[in-house]
Chain A
């Protein structure tokens, strides 16, 4: 290649990026699309599989196109809700508190599963020597994502109450990122013990995805409020009402809707309100996760 050709090439390259940049300006967010996301508390492929029928149902109920936006990071969901990149999100109790703070209190929780009003976390291990929380001192321990309610915040809060400080008393702390990954960590011996939410644990046990002879539950937390569906505060109130009603009228007797509820692991959806999550906010402050 000749020298002057190179120079031209460089200029053309610069021109091309300018052109490409200006073209992408035209790619505006479409109207009449409901963008939904969920904290990635399980493998993202699993989340998409779980969401597909619910998405179709919401499309029918609202008359809007429903798009699921997969995410690998809890905080990204909160940030996306705050910057209005998504309209509706499946949040954990603590991520809801974070979203509430980041949106200056405007994010509205609309519904939760009946199970979420009395949620628990399970401490699991594959080490026969670990029989209680006190045996965890000096071991490696896996939380889920740092901002998970049932995989990090509430277990941490209850550990602190039991006199165990994760930063000082554990040999190493890992964040697996998701509840099913925590089980994989513990089953493989990557961590001596771990904690995850009761609902995912039961699902994995039912599906025989975990060898219960090897990995066992050795402690359970007291109950607390967890997951909900949250909308951003400036969404059209009529649409918010439609969405709320759509969830509330899901009926397990209807086979199609029963499938949705089974995938969401819900026996029933019930209305929820911000006040339900005040105790989580207090726990987060006590555990030093909220400053």
Chain B
């Protein structure tokens, strides 16, 4: 009998795919996926007109003035926010970490606080603080400080737990207190990783501070929001270009700093070189300049009058509105948000894989970088023109940005997969496609899945806020209710966001364990 080469796992894979489709179908329904709308000539014309307006970018003197101020403001918000986050993260990380404790107990109270700080997207904090501080960048700084404080603290705690505990234990047994044991037993091992992560986060903070401008927290985002709302292509193009340059510059600077951490110190009597001195000088100056430049009135936080108004404001959030009617509405928003995040991530996984496959990567690398450097909220304003307002626009926006991120990660993962199995299959005469499916994919799959699930965790937070620009889901509900001072209702929505992001984190961790 002639053995026809066929796919031995075809049946089980087919069944798996079909099951997945059946499970995902309601989600695609909820996200209102209508690929046809993408090719509707009327919509294409609208988009064409808008994107056509991108050229030439706006270069009016008055506008460039606004742009310059906004860019500085964005940098200052990111830097001041990180400084605040750092001040918050050090004590919280110390409390939350199990490192250098006599018995490795985890502090549930601090851990819970950190989950809340991290689980609520910074955009939501910003929206809330915009109400307390009114106008301008103070809201952005505080929002960044809280969310990033939570993130930093968690990662600091975990880094301290992950290094060799022996030196700290030895110190403790010889009578040193916990702070000293951490300072001299753990920090020398962990400091490089700690600093590297902090610098990486600062880079993220710049992106985040742009996004927060969309809710009125100042900076480039605020300018972008206005340009996008007015569909002013020329201004949007200038702002987008500035933003990309800013992100590239931050990328480069952070890369430089991290590289500096990797070089071992020169064999000198004093470990300080001119670079350390320069950095030690520049850092406080930058932070100082940021706070001064933003002119944040912290008395607003500490005067008794302000304390009362903040108290009243926060009091308004309790108790949350738990009436059946409102819960039904929030439930619908929750489902829509979940659908947006899953559909967006899946579309991105497929597109990212397709873009990661061809070699050489170079031409697609440029495309991936461009996709990645445009924030989701900006994509959403464009996709809303392409397919009309609604969840599908949100899912597409997520997909576009995430394709850029995943494509790059996938390409790296595939490059790092051993090529031998695929080559062996090819030499044995397997038809086209099969060497990849059976030689390369199985080895790379766990990594690909892990990356995808990790992005899904980020996307659920993003999906929750895409509603601010009309993409439906929880974000739109929150924006509406906060605008009308319906704090009891807003509080339910925020709680729902928190629950959703915790649930997705758990689901993703479970899936990673099962599939990884």
Smallest Cβ-Cβ distance to B281: which chain A residue: A12
A141: nearest chain-B partner, CB-CB:
B389
Residue of A nearest to B285 (CB): A16
Please tell me if the beta carbons of A17 and B287 are within 8 angstroms of each other in the complex: yes
List A contacts of B134 (CB < 8 A).
71, 76, 79-80, 83, 85-86
Given contacts A21-B298, A44-B226, A140-B389, contact A14 B280 (CB under 8 A): no
Instruction: Return chain A residues, CB-CB under 8 Å to B272.
Output: 2, 5
Main secondary structure of the interface of B (DSSP, over half): helix
Given contacts A73-B215, A76-B216, contact A16 B83 (CB under 8 A): yes
Q: Are B135 and A69 in contact (CB-based, < 8 A)?
A: yes
Q: Which of A2, A5, A25, A172 contacts B388 (CB 8 A)?
A: A172
Verify if A257 is at the interface (C-beta below 8 Å from B). no
- B135 near A70: Cβ-Cβ < 8 Å: yes
A173 to B425, CA, bound (A): 55
Q: Which residues of B contact A176 (CB under 8 A)?
A: 229
For B265, the chain A residues whose CB sits under 8 A away are 1-3
Output the least CB separation between A155 and chain B (Å).
15
Interface 0/1 of A246-268, CB less than 8 Å to B: 00000000000000000000000
Chain B contributes a number of interface residues (CB within 8 A of A) equal to 74
Q: When each residue 169-206 of chain A gets 1 if its CB lies under 8 Å from chain B and 0 otherwise, what string results?
A: 00110111110110010001111000000000000000
Q: A9-B280, A24-B295, A28-B299 are in contact. Are A172 and B389 (CB under 8 A)?
A: yes
- Asked whether A12 lies within 8 Å of B484 as measured between CB atoms, the reply is no
A140 with B306: CB separation less than 8 A = no
A43 in the interface, Cβ–Cβ < 8 Å? yes
8 Å CB contacts to B: which residues of A155-174? 171-172, 174
- The interface of chain A, by Cβ under 8 A from chain B, is 1-10, 12-21, 23-25, 27-29, 37, 43-45, 69-76, 78-80, 82-86, 98, 101-102, 140, 145-147, 171-172, 174-178, 180-181, 184, 188-191, 289-291
| Pairs A-B, 7 closest by C-beta atoms | A16-B284, A2-B271, A80-B134, A20-B291, A146-B483, A2-B265, A72-B216
Residues of B in contact with A (beta carbons under 8 Å apart): 42-43, 46, 49-50, 66, 80, 83-84, 86-87, 90, 130-132, 134-135, 183, 187-188, 191-192, 195, 215-216, 222, 225-226, 229-231, 260-261, 263, 265, 271-273, 275-276, 279-280, 283-284, 287-288, 290-292, 295-300, 305-306, 309, 384-385, 388-390, 470, 472, 476, 479-480, 482-486, 488
Name 14 A/B residue pairs within 8 A (Cβ), A-sorted: A3-B271, A6-B191, A6-B195, A14-B90, A16-B284, A19-B288, A23-B291, A28-B299, A71-B134, A74-B483, A79-B132, A80-B135, A98-B484, A190-B46
Given A43-B229, A73-B130, 10 more A-B residue pairs with CB atoms under 8 Å apart are A1-B273, A3-B187, A5-B272, A16-B283, A16-B288, A17-B86, A72-B216, A83-B309, A146-B483, A178-B229
